[in-house]
Amino acid sequence: MKIGFIGLGNMGGPMARNLAAAGHQVAGFDLAAPQIEGVTPAASAAEAAAGAEVVITMLPNGQILRAVAAEVIPAMAAGAVLCDCSTVDVDSARAVAEQAVAAGLGALDAPVSGGVGGAAGGTLTFMVGGSDAAFATVSPLFDIMGQKAVHCGESGAGQAAKICNNMILGVTMIATCEAFALADKLGLDRQKMFDVVSTSSGYSWSMNAYCPAPGVGPTSPADNGYKPGFAAELMLKDLRLSQQAAESADADTPMGQLAAALYTEFVENEDGRGQDFSAMLPRLSARGRKG
C-alpha cells in the first residue's frame, strides 16, 4: 500500500518505520525532518499525501491537525483515507472528518494507547471513529502498528473513547497516590497495602500495572526516578480535552475536573513537567492536610 505519514516524532516515527518494514511504500513529512528507516522523506505534507491510498497523521493538537488537513485533503486522491492518530479534541476530529468526506475521502479518528514503547513494538491499541469502509481499508495497517483496533463508532468516537479512558486513568492515579500517602502517615507498609489493594476492591490499572510506589508491584516509572512513561503534561493535556468535551456536551464530570486542576497545579506551578504522571505520589507525600 502507498502511505503518506505526517508527524514523525516519538510516536509517529516508529509507527511509520513499522509500516515500511512490513513492505509498504511510506512517504513521510515532519517539520523536524527526522530520518526514519525505510521512509522516503517528502518536502511537504501535501507531497507526502499525493497519490497515497492512506494518509496517517500523528500531530500535537487539534489546531495543527486542522491546518495539516487543510493542506493535505486537496492533495489526496479521491477514495483515499485520512487517518488521524493524534489525540485531539472531539470537535476538531469531527470537523476534519467532515472536510475529508466532503472531498470524497474516507476519514478516521484513531487515537492510540500504549505510548512510545507500544509504537516501537507495534503493540498499540487504536480507538477508531469513522465509516465501516474506511476502517476496513486501514485495518491491515492497524494490525502492523498495533495489537488491537476497536471500531468505536462514527467520526469523533475514537477521540471520545480515548479521553474518557484517560480521564479514568488520571482520576484513579490520583486516588492511588492519595491512598499510598495516607498509608505512609498511618504507618502502613506500602508492600502490605499493595498486597491487599491489588487483590481487593481497590484494584485498578494504576495500582496493579503501574504502581506509583517504588519497589512495589511490577516495574514502573516509579522505579526509574519517575522518568516518563507517560509524562504529567500529557496527562494534563488529556484531562483538559476531557473537560473541553464535557463542557461541549453538558456533562457533569466533577472528578475529572478536579483531576485536571490538580495536574495543572503540578505541571504549571510545581515540578511536575518532565516527570511521569505517577510522580503525584511524592508530591502528595510531601504535603500535609492543609497542603
Asked if residue 82 lies in contact with residue 72, where contact means CB atoms within 8 angstroms, the answer is yes
Confidence (pLDDT) at 14: 97
Question: Along the 291 residues of the chain, how does pLDDT read in single tens digits?
Answer: 999 999 999 999 999 999 999 999 999 999 998 899 999 999 999 999 999 999 999 999 999 999 999 999 999 999 999 999 999 999 999 999 999 999 999 999 999 999 888 999 999 999 999 999 999 999 999 999 999 999 999 999 999 999 999 999 999 999 999 999 999 999 999 999 999 999 999 999 999 999 999 999 999 999 999 999 899 999 999 999 999 999 999 999 999 999 999 999 999 999 999 999 999 999 999 999 986
Distance CA 61, CA 44 (A): 19
- Of residues 162, 185, 237, 290, which has the active-site annotation? 162
Confidence (pLDDT) at 33: 86
User: For the CA atoms of the chain, what is the radius of gyration?
Assistant: 20
Could you state, in order of their start, the residue ranges of all structural domains in the chain? 2-154, 160-286
For the question of whether the overall pTM of this predicted structure is more than 0.85, the answer is yes
Confidence (pLDDT) at 291: 65
**Which CATH number is 160-286's, of 3.50.50.60, 1.10.1040.10, 1.20.120.530, 3.40.190.10?**
1.10.1040.10
> Could you tell me where the DSSP H helices lie in the chain?
12-21, 45-49, 62-72, 90-102, 115-121, 132-145, 157-185, 190-197, 205-208, 232-249, 254-264, 280-285
Confidence (pLDDT) at 132: 98
Active site residue 162: yes
- Among 106, 122, 22, smallest CA distance to 56 is for 106
DSSP 83: E
Domain 2-154 listed as CATH 3.40.50.720:
yes
Q: CA–CA distance from 24 to each of 16, 29, 89, 95, 122 (Å)?
A: 10, 16, 30, 29, 15
